[in-house]
Amino acid sequence: MQPGEVLARVARQVEGKKTCIITGASSGLGLYTAKALVESGDWFVVMACRNVIKGEKCATDLGFPKDSYCVEELELGDLQNVRDFTTRFRRSKPSNNFQALVCNAAVYFPNAVTPTFTKDGFEESVGVTHLGHFLLANLLLEDLANAPDKVMARCIIVGSVTGNTNTVAGQVPPRANLGDMSGFKDGFVGGNKDGGAMIDGERFVGPKAYKDAKLCNMLTVREMHKRFHESTGVSFSTMYPGCIAESDLFRNHTPFFQWFFPILQKNVTKGYVTETEAGLRLADIVSNPRYTESGAYWAWKGGGDQLWDNYNNSDDRELAFNNKPSKEGRDMAKAAAMFDYSAQLVGLDKKSPLDGIGKGLDRLISKV
């Protein structure tokens, strides 16, 4: 089936159901968030996946109701593909009830010493995890602003404890740090294992590339809240659902790590959450009226990102609180600069209609 045919053939009755797009919905957190939403009976989920066949199989295996979802191709490492996805979605029936965007997909190369690159020439961790989502969220901003229930219009970009250096996990080297953002400034031109491929321009370190991209995710939420919340009414937030230690995200790690890490999280840090529980947590951030606060970083005291709270979680594990990001995660000057560098890299600063998708974006994106 060709890209676009899935959405074009959605002839099911979706009236009365709110639409949520979830990226990376063929495994892990994205899949189980989709499961929680479709099983509520209130949501139609667009599972935006790199591998459509895998996404469809996962939805079938988990018994998703046929009238509650569709699987659509989205390759975040290809900016034109992101634009094409946005165009197709706008032409589809589910777009009429578009209520929430969940930017969840990520790639993680914990043992890599040589960078790999996206079609557009960006190091893959930042290109997929941050820049692809950055473009998607900005292109769909006006659509979210026109959501049927404006109070509940939400854009959620999944963060990570590893991007926050005010946590125990965030202190594990190599630590997230965007430095002078020379990689952004130079557009990653000429980047390799010795320099230029990373956001800070330094030599490539696989796990740091992922952590830096997650820090960008969290800074993006804070900057989008600052720039766009008042004018659009959309609530922007990030969240960390707890450590899903048995997840496809760790598929590139060593077999020993994949065996030992869940044991550590279950018995020592107490940060372990199952894919099911994590999915329920993110689905709650999508759909629960209590989480309308924009600019928030949602976390949980049981199975969350604060070690002490995991041992003393007298509060309900189902209730999130607005947690405090790291110092760099609260640096609004850095957030603004990161936002503008990212906008330039993905083409949002161009005085053009962006292939017909970015109507009004020049008006929304302000320069520092």
pLDDT tens digits, one per residue of 4-13? 665 555 545 4
Q: CA 242, CA 368: separation in Å to the nearest integer?
A: 34
Q: Which residues contact 9 (CB under 8 A, 6 or more apart)?
A: none
DSSP 72-86: EE--TT-HHHHHHHH
Q: Which pLDDT score is estimated for 315?
A: 65
Could you tell me which residues are beta bridge partners of residue 19?
44, 98
Token output for 168: 């125990």
CA dihedral 193, 195, 200, 204 (to 10 degrees): 10
Q: Residues 342-362: what's their mean pLDDT?
A: 58
At residue 324, what is the residue type?
A: K
Say yes or no to pLDDT of 204 above 60. Answer: yes
Q: How confident is the model at residue 172 (pLDDT cuts 50, 70, 90)?
A: confident
Q: Which pLDDT score is estimated for 242?
A: 84
Q: Which pLDDT score is estimated for 259?
A: 66
How many angstroms separate the first and last alpha carbons of the chain? Answer: 44
Q: Which pLDDT score is estimated for 272?
A: 77
Q: Which pLDDT score is estimated for 207?
A: 94
Q: How confident is the model at residue 365 (pLDDT cuts 50, 70, 90)?
A: very low
Q: Which pLDDT score is estimated for 11?
A: 44
pTM of the shown model: 0.88
Q: How confident is the model at residue 364 (pLDDT cuts 50, 70, 90)?
A: very low
For 186, other C-beta atoms within 10 Å of its C-beta total 14
For 121, other C-beta atoms within 10 Å of its C-beta total 14
Token output for 61: 């295996």
Say yes or no to pLDDT of 124 above 60. Answer: yes
Q: How confident is the model at residue 120 (pLDDT cuts 50, 70, 90)?
A: very high
CATH superfamily for domain 5-364: NAD(P)-binding Rossmann-like Domain (3.40.50.720)
Q: How confident is the model at residue 118 (pLDDT cuts 50, 70, 90)?
A: very high
Tens digit of pLDDT for each residue in 229-286?
Answer: 999 999 999 999 987 756 676 566 677 657 655 566 666 777 778 899 999 999 999 9
Q: Which pLDDT score is estimated for 171?
A: 75
What percent of the chain stands above pLDDT 90?
A: 70
- Which sequence spans correspond to the domains of the chain? 5-364
Q: How confident is the model at residue 357 (pLDDT cuts 50, 70, 90)?
A: very low
